[in-house]
Structures are given as structure tokens and as C-alpha cells.
Amino acid sequence: MDRKLYRLPFQEEYIPQWICPTCNKGVLQLKKDTFLKSETSDSKLGRSHPEWEPEWLQYTFSCQLECSLPCEETIICIGTGTVEEGFSGYDEDGFPDFVLTDFYRPKYFQPSLKIFSYPKGTFSNVKDELNHSFELFFCSPPSAANHVRIAIENLLTNLGVKRFRINNNKRAPIFLHNRIESLPRKYQDLKDILLAIKWLGNAGSHERTTITIDDVMDAYEMLAVVLEDLFDNKKKIATKKAKEINKRKGPRKK
């Protein structure tokens, strides 16, 4: 996962190399004559302030992106923009020269980008929650983190971990922390990772806790490791071959 693709603002002339969410191969490119920006109402009002400076400008933008490959997918992107001063070199007298440049941050993609790819075989209800998380990633990191938490709840259910216990003849939910701790021994190596994801998801549910895009990407990176461990057939095949070779201390029997 290239964090810079999702963290840094971009310029109209330099669109990040976001991967097409439909074919998962092509790079998204700006569709000609579709980039539109408008100054916000608050920004216009700010121009009347006696100390107004260009850096106070605020925009909203929309554009269309299209896949570089024949899948021909078109993505709608909307977001916000600002003006920032940047160093552009030195003038003829040797003094630093600065220019004002418009920078943009996406808030929403439709269809949403897939921030990381999950392996084939991932349970459908886990994929559904991840897709919801991707939809909210740019506009609401706390909500995105909370959907990752739900994804691991669903993952545990599919792995056979109980969701409820009987208490005084009534069914009571089992806390996620306890569900993770009760994972079978063969999943022992995944417990610490899942607990860390849970803490980030919990933080996303509380208004007093600040969850950033970086925090959500931490959760994605850790969950990717868990899913690859559970569902990556290439890893399982390699592990099986390695066991056979180690057992024979040489080539496998053909």
C-alpha cells in the first residue's frame, strides 16, 4: 500500500496513480475537460477581510477519471481545494521565488477506490464491510475504521467463534476482545494483530478520539496480513511444498 497516494494533496496537472477499482490493473487518468472547481461561499466572504491573503481561498471540485485499460470504467471524484505557497527556485537576483498553487484533496469516489486488495476466498460479509470502509475512507476516517472493526467481527463468526453466551437463560453478546482471545490455537499468531485492529475500530466509534487516514491505513495493512494468512492460496501451496522438502531434506517426490 502506497500511503502517499491517499495522504497527499494533488494538482490538476498531476493526478495520483490511483488503481482502477473495477479491473484492479489500470491507472486512473483525468478525463479531458471534466475538472471543475468553485470557490466556496465562506471563501468569497473572506475576501472582504482587510488582512485577506490568497492562501485563504477554499474550493470544492469535481472531476471524472477513466481507466487507462480497456475496462473503460469511469470514476466520479469530488473533494476540496486550497491554495498553498511553494518554492519554485531562485530569481535572477538569487532570491527565493515562490508561487501560489492550487492543491486538492478527494473526499469521495464513486465507485470507491480499493485501498488494498483482499485475496480470493475472503468471506463475502468481510468484503462488504471493507467496501463500506473504502467508501468512507476519505470523507470519514472514524467511520471507515469502525467498518474494519465490523469486518473482523464477521471474520470471527465465519471462523466459528461464538458471538453469544447464555447468561441467566438469556442470550448475551460476547465482547469482540473476548472473541479474539477465544480463537483456536492455530490462529494464535493472528490474535495480537486482530486486537490492534479492534482498538482502532473502537477509537473510530468514540467522538473524543481522533482517527486519521493514517490510522485507518494501519488497520488496512494489518487486516491484509490476516486475510493473506487465511486465504492466500499461493502461500498455502508454498508452505505445503516447503514442508515436503524439509521433511525429505531434498526434492519432493514426483
Residue that terminates a domain, selected from 96, 113, 130: 113
Q: Which three cell numbers stand for residue 79?
A: 473533494
Residue that terminates a domain, selected from 89, 113, 137: 113
Instruction: Answer yes or no: are the C-beta atoms of 163 and 157 closer than 8 Å.
Output: yes
**Residue 104 sits in the same domain as residue 185:** no
Question: Which CATH number goes with the domain that contains 176?
Answer: 1.20.120
**Residue 129 sits in the same domain as residue 248:** yes
Integer CA distances (angstroms), 150 to 1, 51, 92, 224, in order: 22, 48, 59, 15
Comparing 192 with 246, which gets the higher pLDDT?
192
**Residue 138 sits in the same domain as residue 253:** yes
Instruction: Answer yes or no: are the C-beta atoms of 116 and 220 closer than 8 Å.
Output: yes
Query: Domain range holding 214?
Result: 117-254
**Residue 94 sits in the same domain as residue 77:** yes
**Residue 220 sits in the same domain as residue 131:** yes
pLDDT band at residue 170 using 50, 70 and 90 as cut-offs: confident
Torsion sign over Cα 92, 93, 95, 99: negative
How many structural domains is the chain composed of?
A: 2
**Residue 11 sits in the same domain as residue 72:** yes
**Residue 185 sits in the same domain as residue 244:** yes
Q: Per-residue pLDDT for 243 more than 90? A: no
Q: Which three cell numbers stand for residue 88?
A: 519554485
**Residue 90 sits in the same domain as residue 128:** no
Instruction: Return the number of other C-beta atoms located less than 10 Å from residue 148's C-beta.
Output: 25
**Residue 157 sits in the same domain as residue 127:** yes
**Residue 65 sits in the same domain as residue 133:** no
- For the stretch 111-166, pLDDT in tens is 999 999 999 899 999 999 999 999 999 999 999 999 999 999 999 999 999 988 88
**Residue 123 sits in the same domain as residue 194:** yes
What per-residue confidence (pLDDT) applies to 59? 95
- For the stretch 13-44, pLDDT in tens is 999 999 999 999 999 999 999 999 999 999 99
Q: What's phi and psi for 197, nearest 5 deg?
A: -65, -40
pLDDT band at residue 254 using 50, 70 and 90 as cut-offs: low
Residues 244 and 241: their CA atoms lie apart, in Å, by 5
Residue that terminates a domain, selected from 113, 137, 171: 113
**Residue 143 sits in the same domain as residue 201:** yes
Residues 128 and 69: their CA atoms lie apart, in Å, by 26
Comparing 31 with 91, which gets the higher pLDDT?
31
Residues 128 and 147: their CA atoms lie apart, in Å, by 9
Residues 61 and 81: their CA atoms lie apart, in Å, by 7
| pTM, full prediction | 0.84
